[in-house]
Amino acid sequence: MQDLLQSGQAWLADQLHEHVATQVTYRRGTDEVVVRATIGRTLLKLDDGYGGVRMVWTDRDYLIRAADLVLGGNPVQPQRGDQIREIVGAQTLVYEVLAPGEEPSWRWADPHRQMFRIHTKQIATEA
């Protein structure tokens, strides 16, 4: 049985998916899947190499339901180097899954592991 917090998180994930998400294509090699993703950004604290901290924004984060990320018939977790393609107007924006420094390229967006928060960097714009 789900606790109240888990039920609320599932409801919120469904609301984001239904009302805020946009359609993107997630690609790894020749495998791809069209999913709905909520767009965001993350401010990361990175070691500057001199004992201090520098703040860096990710270019774009995509929040994707874990159950939707299926490649070749198998559920997968994001991997550095995968691509997310988003159509904006007449252009396709191409993002690579990665994060600056030694940060992980994705994390769970919720404590119940229902949604990935995938950090990306834009690598191309196609007409």
- Domain coordinates in residue numbering, the chain: 4-126
The reported pTM is: 0.83
What is the tens place of the pLDDT at every residue in 62-79? 999 999 999 999 999 999
DSSP 49: S
What is the tens place of the pLDDT at every residue in 97-125? 998 777 889 999 988 898 999 999 999 99
DSSP string, 89-120: TTEEEEEEE--STT--SEEESSTTS-EEEEEE
Structural tokens at position 113: 């592991």
What backbone torsions phi and psi does residue 112 show, to the nearest 5 degrees? -100, 5
